[in-house]
Amino acid sequence: MKQMQLREAKAKLSEAVDTVLAGEPVTITRHGTPVAMIVSIEEGRKLHSEAPRRSVVDVLLEYPGGLDLERDHTPPREIDL
């Protein structure tokens, strides 16, 4: 795996992309600490799906026990202020 300093990666982005296209990921470091990685689009899609995210409503509607979403129509209790 190839490593590049951030400064070098900015200056030689085309070289980094060519390395990735050749099948080798590129790790980018800042002050010697790895902070990012350039990988092929196929590898990136494996790691981060582009599938649409489900809403909370969709998740609740798929709940196997079902949900009782009926509103309680009983009158409110009396309170003394």
**Domains in the chain: ranges and CATH:** 2-61 (3.40.1620.10)
Alpha carbons 15 and 22: distance in angstroms, whole number: 11
Tell me the pLDDT tens digit for each residue of 7-63. Answer: 999 999 999 999 999 999 999 999 999 999 999 999 998 888 777 778 888 877 787
2 Cβ neighbours under 8 A, 6+ residues apart: 16, 19, 24, 25, 26, 27
Instruction: Please give the structure tokens belonging to residue 32.
Output: 């010697």
Both tokens assigned to 1: 């795996």
pLDDT (0 to 100) of residue 49: 76
Joined together, the tokens standing for residue 45 give 């899609």
Global pTM value: 0.59
* Tens digits of residue pLDDT in 11-23: 999 999 999 999 9
Q: What pLDDT score was predicted for residue 57?
A: 81
